[in-house]
């Protein structure tokens, strides 16, 4: 399984996410890879174990606190009290799973947050790099920008996002100062990059 968690990518992962040494989340494929299965333990701010989902079925769910929904495209858990998304994952391609967001507590009651966007201090430190790379959204990392530019310049028909592995969309930018300029976008990471083959 290829697993992307926020902006982190894991190739050939076992689907297990451990928090402070405890296995809290596990993704696996159902029979014939027909569906994504989730096993997850949920805790409150005091660290009490309030729900457990095992392979897409609740073994217990205190006062029906959480709602779970799944399809062939992904799954999510929503907290009925706060209306907040606890965990959302999408199936991208044959063997890739992208965890797009999450907000939950570990067994010690510490809050855990998963987000596609970079944290503010990281984003600020990359601001100058993003300008140099003509990024129109939150920046890709330097090595990711280099990989995308190389793929565009070599005229590859299909380009995968170096961050989440999903196919990138590409369209020509009309009236650009440099000819043959493309806007390359990742719909999962919600990032864009303007690349010119002449630059």
Which tens digit of pLDDT belongs to each residue from 6-27?
A: 767 888 888 898 887 888 999 9
Going by the DSSP 8-state scheme, the letter that residue 167 receives in this structure is: B
Average pLDDT over residues 130-144: 49
Q: Taking residues 44-50, what's their average pLDDT?
A: 95
Return the residue matching tokens 């073994």: 59
Q: Looking at the whole model, is its pTM more than 0.75?
A: no
DSSP assignment string, 52-99: EEETTEEEEEGGG-EEEEEETTEEEEEETTT--EEEEEEEETTTEEEE
Is the pLDDT at 125 greater than 70? The verdict is no
Q: Is the pLDDT of residue 86 over 90?
A: yes
Q: What percent of the chain has pLDDT over 90?
A: 29
Lowest mean pLDDT across 67-76, 85-94, 97-106, 141-150: 141-150
| pLDDT for res 28 | 94
pLDDT at 120: 47
Cβ pair 140, 195 in contact under 8 A: no
51 falls in which pLDDT band (50, 70, 90)? very high
């Amino acid at each position: 399984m290829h697993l992307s968690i926020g902006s982190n990518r894991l190739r050939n992962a076992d689907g297990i996410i451990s928090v402070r040494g405890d296995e809290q989340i596990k993704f696996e494929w159902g029979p014939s890879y027909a569906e994504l299965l989730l096993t997850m333990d949920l805790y409150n701010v005091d660290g009490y174990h309030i729900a457990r989902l095992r392979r897409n079925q609740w073994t217990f769910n205190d006062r029906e606190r959480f709602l779970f929904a799944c399809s062939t495209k992904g799954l999510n858990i929503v907290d009925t009290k706060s209306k907040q998304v606890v965990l959302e994952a999408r199936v991208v391609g044959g063997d890739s799973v992208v965890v797009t967001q999450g907000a939950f507590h570990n067994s010690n009651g510490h809050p855990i947050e998963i987000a596609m966007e970079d944290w503010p201090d990281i984003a600020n430190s990359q601001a100058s790099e993003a300008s140099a790379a003509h990024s129109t959204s939150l920046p890709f990392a330097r090595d990711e920008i280099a990989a995308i530019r190389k793929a565009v310049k070599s005229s590859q028909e299909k380009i995968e996002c170096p961050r989440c592995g999903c196919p990138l969309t590409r369209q020509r930018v009309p009236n650009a100062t440099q000819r043959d300029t493309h806007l390359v976008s990742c719909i999962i990471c919600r990032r864009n990059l303007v690349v010119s083959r002449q630059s």
